[in-house]
Amino acid sequence: MFSSVEAGLIYAVMALGVYLSFRILDFPDLTVDGSFVTGASVAAVLIVNGANPFAASAAALLAGFAAGVLTGLLHTKGKINPLLSGILMMIALYSINLRIMGKSNVPLLQQETVITKITAAWRQAGLDAALNRLVSFTGFAPRTWAVLVSMAIVALMVKGLLDWLLKTEVGIALRATGDNKPMVASFSANTDWLIVFGLGLSNALVALSGALVAQYGGFSDVGMGIGMIVIGLASVIIGEALFGARSVARATWAVIGGAIVYRLILALALRVEFLETGDVKLITALIVMMALVVPNTLAAQKERQRKKRRVRQLERGETVAGAETNYKSV
């Protein structure tokens, strides 16, 4: 469970990227499946070749940005529809990722990574002992708190950055582009440029998340991105359903929460004896389907009951809001 929260926080960065493309730009961007691996591959290869893991992660972020920019250009300049632009980039990136790694899997187990560095520094500072004392009454003591705390900080920094960006003049134009594109052009904003930039940023976050996942899991694999967009959507949709999305700041909280809840649901599901690790994608799809269908069904049912109640009240001759003015209005 503890590791689910850790993973959830790392994947939250990816989910925030998906939120940016899917919700803010209204662009269902499938590049994510490819750019996640691009981030992982770039980071892994650089680390194996002796680069500083923090610099490697930054390079992964830039690579993701480039991938997103290309998708944006395919859509805006090439006039290819959003889904297809993303699919084309995703499939192209599969080969590119193989080229980057030179093989289908790069292990990082013996390497210095962001995770090992932070954990080491953390241990030196003796913070684990302090935190364990705080929760000692629960009898629970994790391996280390380093990953949880540092990844929470990363996720919050990304959230803060997004919240701030979307409040700036550029950010407002970005949001309006996803809300009413023709209108944005009439207020002299270049929607093509905004879409390219937005997708770049979105995939930069996805690639950063991929780089961190590779370092956390100890390998980069060409197949690790399959279904990543669905996991991102699951986090966004679960988060919004559970925590609401009235404002941008609220929605980004919800996305982080959704990413963690998704990992927890997955961990619980995998405890069921009948299910295997290979069923993860199926479970993910089912979670998304449920997150999409259940709220609608509940709302419809509530609405039906509300109407029935009103009819019953009218039959009983009670006064009902709205009914008394019937004869007055024309």
Partner 1 sequence: MLELKRITKVFNEGTADEKIALRGIDLTLAPGDFVTVIGSNGAGKSTLMNIISGRLSPDTGEVWINGRDVTALKEHARARYIGRVFQDPMAGTAPHMTIEENLALAYNRTKRRTLSLGVTKQKREWFRETLRTLHLGLEDRLAAKVGLLSGGERQALSLLMATFTKPDVLLLDEHTAALDPARAELVTELTKQIVEQHRLTTLMVTHNMEQAIRLGNRLIMMDGGQIIFAAEGKEKEELTVERLLEAFQRIRGSQFASDRAVLSS
List residues near partner 1 by CB under 8 A: 165, 167-173, 175-176, 179-180, 182-191
Task: State in angstroms the smallest separation of the CB of 299 from partner 1.
Answer: 18
Residues paired with 219 in a beta bridge: 107
Task: State in angstroms the smallest separation of the CB of 25 from partner 1.
Answer: 12
Task: State in angstroms the smallest separation of the CB of 179 from partner 1.
Answer: 4
CB of 72 closer than 8 Å to CB of 196: yes
Nearest to 5 by CA among 207, 145, 139: 145
Task: State in angstroms the smallest separation of the CB of 13 from partner 1.
Answer: 21
Nearer to partner 1, 44 or 189 (CB): 189
Nearer to partner 1, 32 or 251 (CB): 251
Nearer to partner 1, 168 or 297 (CB): 168
Task: State in angstroms the smallest separation of the CB of 184 from partner 1.
Answer: 7
Q: How far apart are the first and last CA of the chain?
A: 61
Task: State in angstroms the smallest separation of the CB of 129 from partner 1.
Answer: 42
Angle between helices 146-165 and 127-134 (to 10 degrees): 90
Task: Identify residue 226 by its one-letter amino acid code.
Answer: I
Q: Is the dihedral of CA 43, 47, 50, 54 positive or negative?
A: positive
Nearer to partner 1, 98 or 170 (CB): 170
User: Tokens at residue 139, please?
Assistant: 């009898």
Distances from the Cα of 141 to the Cαs of 2, 129, 132, 137, in angstroms? 10, 9, 6, 10
Nearer to partner 1, 140 or 164 (CB): 164
CB of 162 closer than 8 Å to CB of 16: yes
CB of 203 closer than 8 Å to CB of 71: yes
Residue recorded with tokens 């790392």:
10
Nearer to partner 1, 58 or 170 (CB): 170
